Chains A and B, each alone.
Chain A
Amino acid sequence: MIVKADEITKQFLRKRENSNVFYAVEKTTAEFRGGNLIMIYGQSGSGKSTWMNMLGGILQPSSGRVLYDRTELYAMDDDTLSKFRNQHIGMIPQGQTAIHSMNVRENILLPFSLYGKEISAETGERADRMLEEMGIADLSAVMPSELSGGELRRMAIARALIRQPEVIFADEPTGDLDDENTRTVLSILRRQADMGKLVMVVTHDREVAEFADLTYRMSGGRLCLEEPEQIV
């Protein structure tokens, strides 16, 4: 899968001296291929999340197109786009996200249950394997409110991976994790890239770089490739 940003921009309303809008993401064109772990590095407020959300299909750009192979993301109607996200995109949003009325296993299975599907035995097994892999198998029946930050993050990753999407976005996945958890999470994502998936990790944490194939820097809404010699 090739994900392409074609001259996308995002502007938000904000009172300034001379204009009412400002660009969170300036006009950017970029292309990303499966099998890579892309790191987007930048300071807080530089526009990383905005960028990632636009690519991940949950934030409409102010201009430009986002293409998944030949499919133009924001040309789809809302329901089709939702379904597309559900099937092709694994989103690990910034912060701690969970449905608090469901236990860990149910949260992980959410991408399936949203479409009212019966959870097949195979899917159930995959969820259990996922729990195992993330090291939270014993928390399967626990409610999210009882989990630590690292456990919640791993749950969110499992949730993003359960449908085996081709493209995975992780917004500050290691933000509030200790060193050991950080390594676990990053190696899981690394493995996904090795399996041919496109993984994009947004972070302000330098440590991610050693797992990345490509590193971009986001600064004031401008994206630029940081180490061109690493292009695969």
Chain B
Amino acid sequence: MFTRMIRGTLFRQWKKMIMIAFTIALGASLATAMLSVVLDVGDKVNQELKTYGANITVVPKSSSVLNDLYDMEGEGVGAYLREDELGKIKTIFWAFNIVDYAPFINVDASLPDGSPVTITGSWFNHHMELPTGEELDAGMNSLRSWWEIKDGKWIDEQAETDEKVAMIGSELAAREGLKAGDTMHLSGEAGEGDFLIVGVYEAGGEEDEHVYMQLNDAQELAGLDGCINSIEVSALTTPDNELAIKAAKDPGSLTVKQYETWYCTAYVSSICYQIQEVITDSVASPVRQVADSEGAILEKTKLLMVLITILSLIGAALGICNLVTASVMERSSEIGLMKAIGAQNGAVTGLVLTEIMLTAIVGGIFGFLAGIGFSQIIGHTVFNSAITIRPMVIPIVAVLVTIVTLAGSIPAIRMLLRLQPAEVLHGR
């Protein structure tokens, strides 16, 4: 009979109940969309920002000093970083914020006709299994994701082949009449070999005259086993503040406490500092603008979305509050009658709350589904990719819907409890 009564009310007040469900659906859909985006956006913004390339470069100390002194491009100055230390970058305190990195070595070589060509050796989709259990495909494929592949494809390090492969710039390809699938002979200071051209790229800079190949192949040509010129790192960073600026000038000037705070915050300067700690004789320096904006955009986007969610939920609670109060008022004489013939407050409250919660569940489910849709729209328009719905979103939204519904029902319930049967029964 209880269920019958609830069904009866839901049925008779269907317009109000639909309004309640709709209000909840609106709130739930926004909450779902925003939460999904916020929970997923870290990765999405990462991907988005990775396309701007690295935000930290690491070079050998001597070359850095020369760079600073003579303001010249310090390539081939004679000092090298060690390839075998590369893995250590993923062991620093802020390892998880390092989303990508790649080593570079620059080698001079010549084509069969004797014309010189610059060769760069690097990682492409270099697969790493880290001691932490994390797996990472690092390298140029993502660090230079804006390169346009004119012909063929990226070098695939994971392909099982003995053939040496290379990619060439579009201008070099045009001048030499080369295309993907051709073989090219290159001679360096210490070796030579045939390279299969797997792709032609257009970078929109001087790289369009260069040849790119895997790190080891380039090292072989130059006889520089285990040597690299520079490392580019793409790291997720916290926007700088005064402490970070002070520390960037000289970490030694900080107090112990400040040092600790700084070291344990993902400022670009502290990440650089930590990289220098693990790479022998290196200088890591930020590529400023990108590093600054990266963290800021992410934080601001998240904050905005959380704000929207909170506001929409408050709005929903207020809407529900009005509707539930109106619904209770409309039925006050029935509620008074029930109390007069002996219904306890708990039973009446339970009845009304059950109705509202049932309505809320329906609204919540519709809202959740709509929210998944919204989040995809946001994902595609803002971040250019689908948003993965974390399972975690479901309980969070369920809890939020419950809280909002209950909070919205409080005034109505209070009214119910205060309701004197004699005052609402007919004749009053």
B5 with A101: CB separation less than 8 A: yes
Say yes or no for A187: interface residue by CB 8 A criterion: no
Tell me the B residues contacting A by CB distance below 8 Å: 1-2, 4-5, 7-9, 11-12, 333-334, 337-347, 420-423, 425-427
Asked if residues A113 and B2 are in contact (CB atoms below 8 Å), the reply is: yes
Shortest distance between the CB of A123 and any CB in chain B (Å): 12
Q: CA–CA, A59 to B428, complex, Å?
A: 13
Of the candidates B11, B341, B346, B425, the one whose C-beta lies within 8 Å of that of A110 is B341
Quick one: CB contact mask for A84-123 with B, threshold 8 Å, 1 for yes? 1111010101111111111000100111011110010000
Residue of B nearest to A116 (CB): B2
**With A85-B341, A94-B425: A106-B347 Cβ-Cβ less than 8 Å:** no
Chain B residue with minimal CB distance to A85? B342
Once bound together, how far apart are the Cα atoms of A59 and B343, in whole Å? 15
Q: Which residues of A contact B338 (CB under 8 A)?
A: 99, 110, 114
Q: Is the CB of B1 within 8 A of A91?
A: no
CA distance A58 to B213 in the complex (A): 91
B2 touches A83 (CB 8 A): no
Q: Are B420 and A97 in contact (CB under 8 A)?
A: no
Q: Complex Cα distance A174/B338, Å?
A: 22
Total number of A residues with any Cβ neighbor in B under 8 Å: 40
Residues A114 and B425 in contact, CB atoms below 8 Å apart = no
Specify which of B4, B5, B346, B427 lies most central, judged by the most chain A CB atoms within 10 Å of its CB.
B427
Whether A102 lies near B8 (C-beta < 8 A) is yes
Chain A residues within an 8 Å CB radius of B344 = 78-79, 82-83, 114
Residue A49, interface by CB 8 Å: yes
Residues of B within 8 A of A53 (CB): 421-422
Looking at the complex, which one of B2, B4, B345, B427 makes contact with A78 (CB distance below 8 Å)? B345
- A102 touching B345, Cβ below 8 Å: no
Shortest beta-carbon contacts, A-B, top 5:
A101-B8, A86-B342, A95-B426, A94-B427, A59-B422
Complex interface: chain A residues within 8 A of B12 (CB): 100-101
Residues in chain B near residue A85, CB distance under 8 A: 340-342
Sample of 11 more A-B contacts, CB < 8 Å, known A58-B422, A100-B8, A160-B341: A58-B421, A82-B339, A86-B341, A100-B334, A101-B9, A106-B1, A111-B341, A113-B1, A114-B341, A114-B347, A172-B427
A217 at the interface (CB under 8 A from B): no
With contacts A79-B345, A87-B342, A114-B342 taken as known, whether A101 is within 8 angstroms of B7 at the C-beta atoms is: yes
Task: Give A122-142 interface residues, CB cut-off 8 Å to B.
Answer: none
Chain A nearest Cβ from B331, distance in angstroms: 9
The answer to whether A65 has its CB under 8 Å from any CB of chain B is: no
Which residues of B lie under 8 Å from residue A95 when comparing CB positions? Answer: 425-427
Chain A residue with the shortest CB-CB distance to B417: A78
Most buried by A among B1, B338, B346: B1
Contact with B342, one of A82, A96, A100 (Cβ below 8 angstroms):
A82
A159 contacts the other chain (Cβ, under 8 Å)?
yes
**Which residues of chain A (35-51) have a CB below 8 Å from chain B?**
49-50
- In the complex, the answer to whether A93 meets B1 with C-beta atoms within 8 Å is no
Instruction: Please measure, in the bound complex, the distance between the C-alpha atom of A115 and the C-alpha atom of B350, giving whole angstroms.
Output: 12
Given known pairs A101-B11, A110-B338, A114-B338, the reply for A82 and B422 (CB within 8 Å) is no
